[in-house]
Amino acid sequence: MKNNKYILLAVLLTVLLFGRSDSLFAQQDPLYTHYMFNKMIYNPAYAGTNRQFMCATFLLHNQWTGFEGTQGEFSGIAPQTQTFSFNAPIPSANPNSLFSGLGLVIINDKLGYDFTTVANLVFSLKKHFSFGTLQLGVNGGMIQRGINNTSWRYPDSPDDPKVPSGEYNAMIPDLGTGLYLFAPDKYYIGFSAQHLLGGQFKWGGTQNTLVKVFYLTAGYNFALPTNPDIEFQPSFLFKIDPSKTQFDINTNIVYKQRFWGGLQYRQGDAVSALLGMRLTDQLKFGYSFDLTTTELLKYSNGTHEIFISYCFTIKTKERVIIPNIIWTPRYL
């Protein structure tokens, strides 16, 4: 049984990383259960939507626990993702200013012997309408991808040129953009495209292609008519790339804007339970547990995800307006 799960994971990771024998397309971006608390990772237009705070968020995603092994060639093969994001509004004395927010995104993602590091700066513009605020965002930076595969090869194809052995890494530029329409505490809808420049990571004669990924997301908040302290917050995230399309659908129930719990379904992958709380007005914490709906359930103990977000209050000085002064000869 122990050997079978490693063979299954080897096949799965080979498909995820390198696709079919005639194509290198794969689902390359990390999965997030807390996507509704982590919007700027996939949509730069989110930056600056909260005009009162600048917020830092850290997220840790440990996938398929039980596959990781403890020693030898299978040690550390389960996917792991660490994500840090920071965004702040651009202060302006003019409420009609187009400038909205700035941000930073750093992602460290490990899948088997493949590792990816992303660093992006984010900038957004805004325009107010009667029905909400529309924001346009762009992110740009670098992606470094590499492998450390000194011993692990797919057993049926030990000489497959699509699966290089040894250590390689390469870096290419990254670019993304997005739109985000929202009304605070009511609704949001966003569309974004990542990795618009594409590019190829060249590893000793083997190439890994960075493909475009598209995201569509939306959410809505409504209070229970019989108890305004209870809010329902349904949302979804739809992902499209050359390898597949996939959607996540979620409903969180929030009590007094302080405690929440929810259920989530990810198409063809997992069902999830979410719990969280706002510890203070500035600090919130969330945890989720994913149970896979695939054959991996026989070998995996589930997926754990934790996020922590802290928001710093922006203190602004009131603008002092000096009235027009009319001088008279008496006081000259």
Closest to 34 in 3D by CA, of 56, 54, 59:
59
Query: Residue 10: how many CB atoms within 10 A of its CB?
Result: 19
Q: What is the pLDDT of residues 127-173, one digit of tens each?
A: 999 999 999 999 999 999 887 766 555 555 556 666 666 677 889 99
CA-to-CA distance for 8 and 21, rounded, in angstroms? 18
Q: For residues 303 and 271, what is the distance between their CA atoms, to the nearest angstrom?
A: 10
Q: How many domains does the chain have?
A: 1
Identify the pLDDT of residue 252: 97
Lowest-confidence pick of 81-85, 112-116, 127-131, 182-186: 112-116
Q: Give domain status of residue 321, yes or no.
A: no
Residue 329 placed within a domain: no
pLDDT at 19 > cutoff 60: no
DSSP states along 157-195: -TT-TTS--EEEEEEEEEEEEEEEEEETTTEEEEEEEE-
Beta carbons within 8 Å of 176's beta carbon, 6+ residues apart: 44, 120, 138, 139, 140, 192, 193, 194, 195, 196
Instruction: Supply the range of the domain harboring residue 211.
Output: 2-315
Can you give the pLDDT at residue 180?
97
Cβ atoms of residues 189 and 4 within 8 Å: no
Dihedral angle computed from the Cα positions of residues 176, 185, 221 and 284, in that order, rounded to the nearest 10 degrees: 80
Residue 330 lies in a domain: no
Residue 320 forms part of a structural domain = no
Give the CATH number for residue 269: 2.40.160.40
Output the pTM of the full model: 0.81
Q: Is the dihedral of CA 174, 39, 250, 300 positive or negative?
A: positive
- Take residue 57 and report the two structure tokens written for it: 């968020």
pLDDT at 25: 42
In a domain, 323, yes or no: no
Whether the per-residue pLDDT at 9 is higher than 60: the answer is no
* Length of the chain, in residues: 332
Q: What is the pLDDT of residue 206?
A: 56
In a domain, 326, yes or no: no
**Per-residue pLDDT tens over the stretch 258-316:** 999 999 999 988 999 999 999 998 999 999 999 888 877 777 778 999 999 999 987 65
Instruction: Name the band, by pLDDT with cuts 50, 70 and 90, for residue 241.
Output: confident
Q: Which residues pair with 181 in a beta bridge?
A: 134, 189
Do the domain assignments include residue 43?
Answer: yes
Q: Which DSSP category does 317 fall into?
A: P
DSSP secondary structure code for residue 9 in this structure: H
CA neighbor of 12 nearest in space, from 77, 81, 108, 76: 77
pLDDT exceeding 90 applies to what percent of the chain?
A: 53
